[in-house]
């Protein structure tokens, strides 16, 4: 029951699959897009551009919006620039190139934001949230992807040490987020787990 995407988006999905670029799972992004249709944000901050798939999905659904998106991987942001140029939406999407933990001043220049979307290095989610939530409008939303990490957050024993450490960090973030004094949060078991946080 997922709606058809245009040719460019389908090309991007194929590219991501072939080159093992992580993009938001289709059920998760469709859920996020419905929330954005309701919210109708004018300004969106995205932490983690990858190849620009989510940014384009958001700007197609919210044509009045302006998106600022952060990416540190040169190969990925170069691909994002190419796809965004093909879309004709380059005037609405600004890519800030570099580590999101080091680009606060550039992000601040373009804020405040109606929506912040976090989909980058999972072990840094708390730092991303703390760093950029100060640039969220009073009635804004923060959407965080991958918070259930393929269901591994429910596993009691994980043999792989690297994955075990990542799951611990995600679990710690989830616990911190769900008890945050300034936000109401719900975690939706859709896609790879999507957290929706709204200022109290």
Structure tokens at 162: 């690297």
Residue numbering of the annotated binding site for Mg(2+): 119, 145-146
The answer to whether residue 96 sits within a structural domain is yes
Residue numbering of the annotated binding site for S-adenosyl-L-methionine: 24, 54, 71, 99-100, 119
The answer to whether residue 90 sits within a structural domain is yes
Other Cβ atoms closer than 10 A to 72:
18
The answer to whether residue 32 sits within a structural domain is yes
The total number of structural domains in the chain stands at 1
* HSE (side-chain half, CA atoms, 13 Å) at 16: 20
The answer to whether residue 146 sits within a structural domain is yes
The answer to whether residue 2 sits within a structural domain is no
The answer to whether residue 1 sits within a structural domain is no
Residue numbering of the annotated binding site: 24, 54, 71, 99-100, 119, 145-146
Q: Say what the pTM is.
A: 0.94
User: Which structural domain, as residue segments, surrounds residue 91?
Assistant: 7-199
pLDDT digits over 79-103, tens only? 999 999 999 999 999 999 999 999 9
The answer to whether residue 145 sits within a structural domain is yes
The answer to whether residue 101 sits within a structural domain is yes
pLDDT digits over 7-39, tens only? 999 999 999 999 999 999 999 999 999 999 999
CATH number at residue 141: 3.40.50.150
């Amino acid at each position: 029951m997922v709606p058809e995407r245009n040719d460019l988006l389908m090309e991007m999905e194929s590219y991501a699959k072939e080159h093992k670029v992580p993009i938001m799972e289709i059920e998760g992004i469709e859920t996020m897009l419905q929330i954005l249709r309701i919210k109708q944000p004018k300004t969106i901050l995205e932490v983690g551009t990858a190849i620009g798939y989510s940014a384009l999905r958001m700007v197609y659904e919210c044509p009045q919006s302006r998106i600022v998106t952060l990416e540190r991987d040169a190969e990925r942001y170069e691909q994002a620039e190419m796809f965004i140029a093909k879309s004709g939406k380059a005037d609405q999407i600004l890519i800030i190139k570099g580590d999101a933990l080091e680009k606060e001043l550039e992000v601040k220049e373009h804020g405040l934001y109606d929506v912040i979307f976090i989909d980058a290095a999972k072990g840094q989610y708390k730092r991303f949230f703390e760093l950029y939530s100060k640039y969220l409008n009073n009635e804004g939303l923060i959407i965080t992807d991958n918070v259930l990490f393929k269901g591994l957050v429910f596993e009691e024993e994980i043999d792989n040490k690297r994955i075990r450490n990542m799951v611990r960090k995600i679990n710690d973030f989830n616990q911190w987020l769900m008890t945050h004094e300034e936000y109401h949060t719900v975690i939706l078991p859709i896609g790879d787990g999507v957290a929706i946080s709204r200022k109290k």
